[in-house]
Amino acid sequence: MMQMVRWVSLVLFGGVGFLYGFSGLIAPGWVVPLLWIVWLTHLFIVIRQWRRRQWVVVSAPLLSWFIWAAVILSGEAFLGWTA
At 6-19, the pLDDT tens digits run 899 889 999 999 99
Q: What is the mean predicted confidence (pLDDT) over 51-68?
A: 88
pTM of the predicted model as reported, rounded to 2 decimal places: 0.87
Q: What is the mean predicted confidence (pLDDT) over 34-48?
A: 92
Provide the residue ranges of all domains of the chain, joining segments of one domain with +.
2-74
pLDDT value of position 63: 93
- Among 35-39, 52-56, 65-69, 73-77, where is mean pLDDT lowest? 52-56
Q: Give the rounded percent of residues in the chain with a pLDDT score beyond 70.
A: 99
Sequence-distant (6+) residues with CB within 8 A of 69 are none
Q: Is 3 exposed, middle or buried (0-12, 13-18, 19+ CB in 10 A)?
A: exposed
CA–CA separation, 31 and 37 (whole Å): 10
Write the single-letter amino acid at 60: A
Q: Is 32 exposed, middle or buried (0-12, 13-18, 19+ CB in 10 A)?
A: middle
